[in-house]
Structure 1
Amino acid sequence: MNLISVSNYNPKIREVNVIRYVTPLREGGSLPAIVEADDDFLYVVKFRGAGQGIKTLIAELIAGEIARLLGFLIPEIVFIHLDEAFGRTEPDEEIQDLLRTSEGQNLGLHYLSRAITFDALVTNVDPELASKIVWFDCLIMNVDRTARNTNMLSWNKELWLIDHGASFYFHHSWPNPEEQGKKPFPQIKDHVLLSKASELDKVNETFKTKLTTENIQSIVALIPDEWLLKAESPFDTVEAHRQAYVKFLETRIANSETFVNEAKNARKAIV
């Protein structure tokens, strides 16, 4: 896993348009779907009108680009535009309603054709990579990397991370961002790779140097203003809303020993 050079880090998100709705992926209540875009690629679309809505898209975007900065394999993230015409022709009423409420800018992830769901009993993950994934999930407060739902894929014999919409769960009510940043992450006890994560201290030192304020600002700047305007929040301005994510991440990184120690203690209980 090659880390991106800080000096070379300049995140950019391409924009594409949906030209064909291929098939729904009936997973939970979010109803993502596979679509074809005008660049001839297939994407898994996370719709702004589904489930927790735009906040899920924001979490997916921030977490995905942090993961990419840290060197993980992540499907390319794109902004994907859905025209109002698609909601008129879909025969399934549930999907039709979803498409109508999702007109405009949504989030797409490149579809990894023939990828296999990661199985911890079949695929071995070395301690360093396991520690990196555990550290990352502690940082973003990702509750969705359990044995029941690993949200990892094996594709071309490599491990890919997917589905980070459940991260930053505090932003659904927005308690104090700095207080949230200082909290441990007790849910890490259920992480599918925790037992193998024996190099958390080493990873902590490496990853903290990558996540500079400049890099965090660059990632958070990717969030479309429209999403921040539409997402319910206690903030008076879009910029204040955006900087709340920055403040959370800065605080969390500065206090990373808190969640690292939580993970180490949870690991001791199972190994």
Structure 2
Amino acid sequence: MTKGACLCGTVRFEIDGPFQTMLNCHCSMCRKFHGSAFATAAVAPLPGFRWLAGEHTVRASSASPHRSFCGTCGAAAPLLAPDRQLALVHAGNLEGDPGIEPQFHQFVGSKAPWYTITDSLPQFEQWPPQIQAPVVERPSAASREGVTQGSCLCGDVAFEFEGAPLRMMYCHCTRCRRGRSAAHAANVFVALDRFRWVRGDAQVASYKVPEARFFSVAFCVGCGGAAPRLSPERGFAVVPAGALDTDPGIRPAAHIFAGSKASWFRITGDVPQFAELPPQA
């Protein structure tokens, strides 16, 4: 049996399994919802799924009937499909080893320009052959010289920043995995005086982990999509890279807190890894 929970712990569940499939999805909707490079979903038979707490606090996303999230912390909630007798859970919220690893990448034709797939898993431009489902066409943003743009899944929240970001990191800490319901967070750090809201900042909610000094997550209250969080005391904005609409012109500098990574995720490629923070941090 595998248990799972959102970042704040309000939403909790367990699932007997066995998991039938685990996949990485690179579509723009998943990236915006989770704020990371991709979403990782694990699928198991519905009869083995049980809510433990928080079922009635889950909000449906205004942008997608197949997505929902914790109303307190914004973490993605499980998707139940009674018609197919399946339960889909977001692997970033799972505790322990689920006994399965990702089996393929889907929608790689939509992957983020700043992310490079370095493993040997099968890749599919859209849905894999065994899945018959429609493809949702999403509009693309027109690029502007010297400006990086971003928005939430429903588009009610939009932002932009000028010039080069300070840095970009993948973080594998437990908080980031639960907060983004993903294998890891992908964060872009931007000087606060270069960041501005275009619209919808009043629709952004945030949740701070009570015992943390700084750690918090932000999300659109309508769609649950990841949103930037501002840190005035440190002078920068933390922008979830999955929410970006245009290329920030920077690439990840490191995997941090790799010592806390998910058991089901393998770090490949040549981006430097650090068990916790890099020495200069």
TM-score normalised by L of structure 1: 0.26
Identify, as 1 or 2, the structure richer in helix. 1
Structure with greater strand share of residues? 2
Q: What is the TM-score when the length of structure 2 is the normalising length? A: 0.26
Pick the structure with greater CA Rg.
1
